[in-house]
Amino acid sequence: MITINLGFDKNPYANKKDIILFFSNNFIISEDTFNYKEVDANYIDPETKELVTYEITAVFNIHTKHQRDKEDVEYNIKQLCSIFNQDSIAYYSDILNIKNVVHNINYKKEKYIFNADYFKFN
């Protein structure tokens, strides 16, 4: 299982129905484990190093479909960054022992750093 943190700022598909539609193209969405929640999130801007105080994000679980390794997972998430107009999408999986922030192919600024606090439900 992979837990995703998907921001809503600049996101043209910031609703549960669209998120399920687009993620289910490359990943498995299980009603039993999806655990979708919208939360208020804080994050640190990598350029200014300042705390950005508020962004609504969706935190939810997905499962791999055809991905065989971390590179496959990140390739699919990178595609979803473009679809959802996101600079980055953070994810982690205890089962797969991976955690990272995947950046949009067009994002050229300072990279975001993974922070497990982004996955805590407020």
**84, 102 in Cβ contact below 8 A?**
no
Q: What is the pLDDT of residue 86?
A: 95
Q: What pLDDT is recorded for position 50?
A: 81
Which segments in the chain show pLDDT lower than 70? 53, 118-122
Strand runs labelled E in 16-97:
27-28, 37-44, 51-64, 88-93
pLDDT of 120 reads 62
Per-residue pLDDT at 45: 79
- Asked if 1 and 28 count as a contact pair (C-beta separation under 8 A), the reply is no
Q: How far apart are CA 98 and CA 37, in angstroms?
A: 21
Q: Both tokens of residue 107?
A: 């994002």
Q: Tell me what pLDDT residue 122 has.
A: 43
CA distance 3 to 119: 8
For residue 48, the model assigns a pLDDT of 83
